[in-house]
Structure 1
Amino acid sequence: MRRIQLVLATLSLFTYSLGVNAQDKQVSGFNFPSDRKINVGVLVYDGVEIVDTGGPIDVFVKANNWNGKYNIYTVSATANKTIIMDGGTVNLIARYTIFDAPQADILVIPGTSPEIVKKISADNKMMDWIVKQNINTQMTMSVCTGGLILANTGLLNGRSATTHHWSIDELKSHKEINVQEKKRFVVDGKFLTGAGVTSGFDVALQAIELINGKEIADDIALGMVYNRYGDMLFLPKK
C-alpha cells in the first residue's frame, strides 16, 4: 500500500510540474514591458465600426481600474486625425496618426463594411504600417472584418483565424489561412481574431486573461454585464 501511495504521490508531483511548466511557457510567450504601461494602439479610419472600436477600448479602460497597466490610444490611418465613424454619427479625434504613433505592444484592428475593407486595404501606407508595427507587438488582434484587413497584409498566413460570418467566404479565399467558422474568437500565437462586432469584447477580455489572469477578465465582464462564455449556435445552418 505504501508503495502504491508513493507512486501516486510521484505521479501527482510530476503532473503538477508539467502544469507549472506549461503555464510558464504560456506566460513566457509574451514579453510585455515591466517598466512602463502597455501600449494599446487602436487603428481607426473613416467608416470604422463603432462597437468594434469602442468594445476593446472599454475593456482595456476598465482593466486600468485594477492595475492602471494600459496606455490606450487611437491611431488614424491617415494624416487627418478626425475620423468619421460608421454611419456618420460619431466623429472621433485620434491621438496619433500612423506617421507619429508609438510602437504598440497590443495592436487592435477594428472592422467595417466589406466595401470599405477593400478600399482601405489598397492603402499601402496603412498596410505597411500594420506590418511594421506587428514586428514588435506582443499581441495583434482584429475584430470582425478587421480580420480581412489583417489577412490582406499576409500576416495571418499559416495561422488559424476568423471574421464576421457574413465575410467568412472572403477569408477562406486566403488559402494559407486556417479559417475557423462558428467561433467567437480564435487565438493563434500572438494573433487574436474576433468573429464580429461584440466579439471585440471577447478578444480584449481574452487578452486581459492572458496578461492579468482569468479572475480579473471575468470581473471586468461581470461589470460590463457581458457573457464571455456565449457560443455561436445562433448562426444559421448552412
Structure 2
Amino acid sequence: MKDHNENNAAKEKRVSLDHSRRKILKLGSFAALGAAMGGAALLGKTTPSLAKANSGGTFYPGKLAPNETLNILIVNYDGGTLLDFAGPSEIFHRLPNTHVRYASLNGGDVTLEFGVKYGNTERLVDIEKTDLILVPGGSDLSAPMRPEYQAQIRRLAESAKYVTSVCNGSLVLAATGVLNGKRSACHWAFINKLSEYGAIPVSERFVEDDNGRFMSGGGVTAGIDFALRVAAKLRGEKAAEFTQLAIEYDPAPPFHSGHPRDARPEVIAMVDKVLPGASSGLARIPGVR
C-alpha cells in the first residue's frame, strides 16, 4: 500500500509539473511562471529558481515601467535568414506588455533564405512609428539595400527609441546612415564591411552604443543572446531569466567552432572557400557593394 501511495504521489507530481510547463509555454508571461512556482517547487528544487539572480542575488529592473507598452517591429525581406529573427521573436513575444509586428516593403509573403515562405507581413509604409526596430540579416541583402527599403527603415529607425540588428542586418542599418559613428556587431564574415558605411565594427556577440539606444547581435545564433540582453535592459533581469527558462535556452554546443577564434584552420578554410574574404571580415554578399 505504501509503494502504491508513493507511486501515485510521484505520478501526481509529474502531472503537475507537466501541466505547469505547458501553462508557462502557452501563456509566456511572468505571471504564469510565478503561479507555477507558487504551488510547488519546480523540478523538485526547494528554492525557486528566480529567487536569486546571477548578479549577487539582486534582480535589476528594466528601463521601462512594468505597465509601459513596448512596440517592436521586425523588418522582413526576400533573402532574409529565418533564425536571425525567429530567435529574438521567441523572446520578445514572451515579455509582458510587449507587442511584436512584422513588416516588409509590400506586405504579404516574403521568401526567406532556402526558399522558406514567411507570410502575412504588414507594409512598412503603413507603420507610423515603433519603439524598437529590429533588422535581421540574410544571405542576400539585395532587397533591403534597395532605396525604397532603405527609406522606410531610415524613417522608422530615426524616430525609434531603440535601433537594433542581428547578424549582417547591421549592414542594412549602416547603409541608411543611422549607424554613422556607432559601435555595432555583425557576423564575423562581414564585420569589417561596417566601416565602409561609417559604423564602428566590434567583434562581440552583443554590442551597444548611446546607452543602449543602439543594440546589435553577432551572427545568426547570437540573436537569442541579443534578445535576452534587450529583454533584461528594457523589462528587467527577472523577465529575461523567466523567458530563458521558459524556452529552455541552455546551450551546450557539441563543437567549439562557432567563431574563427575557436575553429580549426581547416574549418575556417572551408568557409573561406564558400565565402571568399570571410576570414578577413570582408566576405561579399549580394546587395552590398
The TM tier, using the shorter chain, reads: 0.7 to 0.9
Structure 1 residue aligned with 2:202, among 170, 174, 180?
180
Q: Which residue of 2 aligns with 1:236?
A: 260
Alignment of 1:14-29 (within 5 A): 27=63
TM-score (norm 2): 0.62
Q: How many Å separate the matches in 2 of 1:46 and 1:178?
A: 27
2:88 alignment partner AA:
P
| Correspondence for 2:155 among 121, 132, 135 | 132
1:217 pairs with 2:249: no
For structure 2, the 5+ residue unaligned runs are 1-59, 262-278, 280-289
Equivalent of 1:164, from 183, 187, 191?
187
CA distance in 2, matches of 1:139, 1:196: 20
How many residue pairs align between the two structures?
199
> Which residue type is aligned with residue 154 of structure 2?
V
Cα drift, residue 39 of structure 1: 1.3
Q: Distance in 1 between matches of 2:257 and 2:145?
A: 34
Contact 2:78 2:143 in 1 (8 A): no
Query: AA paired with 1:203?
Result: F
Task: Return the match for 1:70 from 98, 113, 117.
Answer: 98
Pick the aligned partner of 1:53 from 85, 104, 108: 85
CA distance in 1, matches of 2:153, 2:90: 22
Contact map agreement 2:107 2:124 (CA 8 A) in 1: no
What corresponds to 2:109 in structure 1?
Answer: 82
| Conserved 8 A contact 1:44-1:83 | yes
What code does the residue aligned with 2:237 have?
K
Secondary structure at 1:165's aligned position in 2? coil
Aligned residue number for residue 194 of structure 1? 217
Task: Please tell me whether residue 207 in structure 1 is matched to residue 230 in structure 2.
Answer: yes
When the two chains are superposed, the root-mean-square deviation of aligned CA atoms in Å is: 2.6
Larger radius of gyration: 2
- Distance between the aligned counterparts of 1:100 and 1:142, measured in 2? 21
Q: Look up the SS of the partner of 2:78 in the other structure.
A: coil
The alignment's TM-score, normalised by the length of structure 1, stands at: 0.75
Identity across the alignment (%): 25
Post-superposition offset of 1:45: 0.8
**Deviation of the 1:120 alpha carbon:** 2.4
Letter in 2 for 1:83: V
User: Secondary structure of 2:164's match?
Assistant: strand
Give the Cα–Cα distance (whole angstroms) in 2 for the partners of residues 62 and 34 of structure 1: 14
Contact 1:162 1:195 in 2 (8 A): yes
Tell me if the contact between 1:107 and 1:134 (Cα under 8 Å) persists in the aligned partners: yes
Residues 71 and 199 of structure 1, relative CA distance in 2, 3 Å threshold: same
The partner residue of 1:153 within 176, 187, 190 is 176
State how far apart, in whole Å, the 2-side matches of 1:227 and 1:157 are. 35
212-221 or 43-52, which moves further after superposition?
212-221
Gaps of at least 5 residues in structure 1 are: 1-22
CA contact (8 A) 1:85 1:92 kept: no
Alignment-mate amino acid for residue 177 of structure 1: A
Letter in 2 for 1:170: K
Measure the CA separation in 1 of the matches of 2:244 and 2:65: 25
In 1: Cα distance, 2:94 partner to 2:150 partner: 29
* Post-superposition CA distance 1:25-73 (Å, at most 9, x none): x94xxxx69886321111001121111121111101121xxx3x11111
Q: Deviations over 1:170-227 (max 9, x none)?
A: 22333x322111x111011211111011111122211211111112212211222224
CA-CA distance at 1:145 after TM superposition: 0.9
